[in-house]
Amino acid sequence: MLHSNLSVNEMGHLTLCGADTVTLAEKYGTPLYLLDEDRIREKCRTYHRAMKTYFTPDSRPLYASKALSFRGIYRLAKEEGMAVDVVSPGELYNALSAGMDAADICFHGNAKTVADIRYAMDNGIGLFAADNAVELERISAYAVEKGVTQRVLLRITPGIDPHTFDAVNTGKVDSKFGSAIATGQAEEIFCYARSLANIEVAGFHCHIGSQIFDEKPFCDAADLMLTFMVSLRDKYGYTAEILNLGGGIGVRYTEADPYIDIDDTLRLVGAHMHAICEETGYPMPQILMEPGRSLVADAGVTLYEVQNVKTITGYKSYAAIDGGMTDNPRYALYQSRYTVVNASRASDDADFTCTVAGRCCESGDLIGENLTVARPEVGEYLAVLVTGAYNYAMSSNYNCITKPPIVMIADGKDKLAVRRETFADMTACQM
C-alpha cells in the first residue's frame, strides 16, 4: 500500500498500524480522524537524529503545529523533545495548555497584533520569527516596558521557487512573508532590528514552500541565506547563532507522487552547508527546521460512511459521504489529490470510478474526482489516506456541521484524543 503503516486484514478491512479501521469506525462513529501515533514519534526521532548528525549537535526540529493542532499532539511533541512553531495566540495557548515550555516555542506570522505579542511575551516566548519593522517596534516597546530582552529571528525571503503549487509557495521575492535579500530589504531590516532597544537578533529564518520533493531547493535556500549571513559578518561583524530553514519536505498522497527520504535530504543539505561554512570560515550555526506535513500527514486516515451512490447516466458516478470539505477542504481549495480506499472491502479490485462528494450544499464540496475504489455499498466505509496534516487543522463548521473526533493509535491501542464536537459545543459562543 501507499505507506508501510497501511495494510489489509483477513476480513478484507483496511488497517492502520494494525488496527482494523472498520472496527474503529463502528466504535467511534464517522466521520473519524485516525492517527498512527507511533509513526509520528518515529518521524520526530528521524528529524532529531539527522539534524544532530548532519548539522550541529544542538540543531533541532520544531513541530510546525499549524499542520495539526490539539493538546495530545503537543504532549507527544514535548515527550519527543521537539520544540514547536506556532502562528497564532490560539496555537500558543493550545501548546501551553498541553504543558509545552514557552522557551521552546517560536511564534510566526506576518501580521502579529500588539495583543498577540504581549500575550506571547507575558508567557515567556523563546523566539519570535519577526516578519516586519512594525512588529519589531512592537516587540521592542513591550520588551522595554517589561525590562526584558527578547530574542528574535528575522524572517528572510531568499527568493527560491521550489516548483510547488502557488498557494503554498512562500519563499519567492514577492511573498507576503518576510524581507527579500534581492531587494536589499533583508539587510535594512537587520540593521533596523539591531538598532532597536531590548531586541536580540539571534539569527534568521526562511521557509521556501511546502510539499517539496527534492533537496535542491533546500540547498539553494541554505546557500543564499549563508551568503547573506557572510555578507553581514563582513560588513557589520555580526555572526548569527541560529539559522531556521523552515519546513516543506513533501509527502506521498498518491502512487503518482515521488518519495523523498528525510534522513537523506538532511544529509545532503548538511553536507552542502558544512562545505559553504568551511569555504567562508563562517561557524556552522545551530540549525532549526519546522516540519509539519512530513511529521503527521501519513500518520492520518479519515473514515466516512457512504450515504448513497448516484450514477448520472452517460456521465459519472458520485459516492456521497457523511463528511467532506468541512473536515478536509484541500481538494476544494487546492485540487489536492488523495488516495481513497473502500475500507470495508480493501482487498477487492478498485474498479469503480467515481467522484467522492461531501455533504455540504455546495457543488465544489468534493474529496476528489475520477477516483477508483471497490464499488461502495451504502453503509460501507471509505478511507481517505494521508490526512494527518492540514485536515483537522483546516476544518470548519460550514453548514453547521460538527467536527469529527480524533482517535490516536499507539502500541495497537486506540484512544480518543479529541472528542466529537456536539451541537452545544458548536453553538456555545452564540448569545
Contact between 322 and 278 under an 8 Å Cβ cutoff? The reply is: no
Q: Which is nearer to ligand LLP, 151 or 293 (CB)?
A: 293
| Beta carbons of 217 and 170 less than 8 angstroms apart | no
Q: In terms of Cα–Cα distance, which of 395, 411, 394 is closest to 292?
A: 394
Residue 64 within binding range of ligand LLP, rule CB under 6 A:
yes
Instruction: Point out which residues pair with 301 in neighbouring strands.
Output: 34, 385
Residue 303 pairs in a beta bridge with 32, 383
From the CB of 199, what's the least distance to ligand LLP, in Å?
A: 20
Which of the following is catalytic: 106, 277, 361, 400?
361
Q: Which of 341, 350, 347 is nearest to 387 (CA)?
A: 341
Question: What distance in Å separates the CA atoms of residue 424 and residue 12, rounded to the nearest whole number?
Answer: 38
Q: Which is nearer to ligand LLP, 335 or 422 (CB)?
A: 335
221 binds ligand LLP (CB under 6 A): no
Q: Three cell numbers at 244? A: 531556521
Closest to ligand LLP by CB, 330 or 403 = 330
Region of 72-80, 272-280, 289-297, 351-359 interacting with ligand LLP (CB under 6 A): 289-297
- Contact flag: residue 207 with ligand LLP (CB under 6 A): yes
Pick the binder of ligand LLP from 210, 339, 342, 387 (CB under 6 A): 210
Minimum distance of ligand LLP from residue 44's CB (angstroms):
13
Among 246, 285, 300, 324, binds ligand LLP (CB under 6 A): 246
Which residue stretch of 243-251, 260-268, 273-281, 344-352 sits at the interface with ligand LLP (rule: CB under 6 A)?
243-251
Q: How far is the CB of 377 from ligand LLP (least distance, A)?
A: 31
Contact segment (CB under 6 A) with ligand LLP among 52-60, 98-106, 188-196, 285-293 equals 285-293
Distance separating alpha carbons of residues 19 and 6, to the nearest angstrom: 9
* Contact string (CB under 6 A) for ligand LLP, positions 97-136, x = contact: -----------x----------------------------
140 vs 175 by CB, closer to ligand LLP = 175
Residues in the chain: 431
Q: Which is nearer to ligand LLP, 248 or 323 (CB)?
A: 248
The interface mask with ligand LLP, positions 132-171, x = CB under 6 A, is ------------------------------------x-x-
390 binds ligand LLP (CB under 6 A): yes
67 binds ligand LLP (CB under 6 A): yes
Q: DSSP assignment of 207-229, as one string? A: ---SSB-SSHHHHHHHHHHHHHH
Identify the helix (H) or strand (E) that includes residue 184: none
* Residue 206: burial class (beta carbons within 10 Å; 0-12, 13-18, 19+): buried
**Residue of the chain from 61, 89, 247, 324 that contacts ligand LLP (CB under 6 A):** 247
The rounded distance, in Å, linking the Cα atoms of 328 and 233 is 46
Cell numbers given for 167: 498557494
- The DSSP-derived string for 341-387 is EEGGGTTS---EEEEEE-SSSSTT-EEEEEEEES-PPTT-EEEEES-
d(CA 337, CA 340): 10
Q: Please check whether residue 153 is in contact with residue 244, taking contact to mean a CB–CB distance below 8 angstroms.
A: yes
The residue from 294, 326, 328, 387 that contacts ligand LLP (CB under 6 A) is 294
| Piece of 178-186, 268-276, 286-294, 406-414 that binds ligand LLP (CB under 6 A) | 286-294
Q: Name which of 19 and 156 has its Cβ closer to ligand LLP.
A: 156
Q: How far apart are CA 206 and CA 222, in angstroms?
A: 9
- Cell numbers that stand for 173 in this block: 521575492
Annotation marks residue 361 as catalytic? yes
The answer to the question of residue 405 lying near ligand LLP (CB under 6 A) is no
- Residues that bind ligand LLP in the complex, under the rule CB under 6 A: 64, 67, 85, 108, 168, 170, 207, 210, 246-248, 290-294, 330, 390
Catalytic residues: 361
